[in-house]
Amino acid sequence: MGQQLGCCVPQGVNDAFTSLNIRFMRKKKEEKALRSSGAELSEPFAIDWTKARPENWKFESTTGPGSYFFKFEPEIDDVKGPISDGEKKLKSRPENYEGMMYQTSMKDWPSDQQSYKLVKRTGSGYSFTAGQSENFTYVQAKYQALERYDRISLDPDPYTDSMSFRRQRLGKPCHPGRG
């Protein structure tokens, strides 16, 4: 018969219960089919940014109160030196850095008193919080593989424009991946 439950249920009820309970009918781990070697990742998926086209990197500045959040602890390099050097470093090696953050008013200070933070590209999910205050500036290095949707022209054609769904004309086209 099936496995016996360790409670005070009469014998006949216990047997009926175990035959109906799916948990007792599961295969043991060693009886299950083996998964292929490629079915599981041996390491987290990572994008190789070194092969990215240099002309597709865009650098967007955002101001805010200086707060940020992340999924995993980011690697942040605190650098004392001119902010312009940090911008050059970010723009020359965007595959290594997610962005840079600095105090907005610090750009007007003498270069020997300036400092900035470079956020390394580690997949941490780092995100700068934009806001009303302009205390801090974050320059993000974004890779845009496709041209922005507002910079492309869509020529009308007889097929797309006549498409419908449930006798309703389709709305404006979406442009995924185009910013």
Neighbours of 9 (CB within 10 A): 13
What pLDDT does residue 1 have?
A: 46
What pLDDT does residue 124 have?
A: 87
Chain centre distance of CA 52: 17
Whole-angstrom distance, CA of residue 117 vs CA of residue 78: 5
pLDDT tens digits, one per residue of 68-115: 889 889 999 999 999 999 999 999 999 999 999 999 999 999 999 999
pLDDT tens digits, one per residue of 46-59: 788 888 899 999 99
Neighbours of 172 (CB within 10 A): 6
What pLDDT does residue 90 have?
A: 96
Side-chain-facing half-sphere of 21: CA atoms under 13 Å: 12
38 vs 138 pLDDT, higher one: 138
Q: Which residue, 97, 104, 144, 147, is CA-closest to 123?
A: 97
Side-chain-facing half-sphere of 123: CA atoms under 13 Å: 7
pLDDT tens digits, one per residue of 107-156: 999 999 999 999 999 888 899 988 888 899 999 999 988 877 777 777 87
Whole-angstrom distance, CA of residue 50 vs CA of residue 36: 30
pLDDT at 164 exceeding the cut of 70 = yes
Indicate the DSSP class of residue 46.
-
Indicate the DSSP class of residue 26.
P
Tokens of 7: 């409670």
What pLDDT does residue 62 have?
A: 92
What pLDDT does residue 162 have?
A: 82
pLDDT at 40 exceeding the cut of 90 = no
The type of residue at 154 is: L
Indicate the DSSP class of residue 82.
-
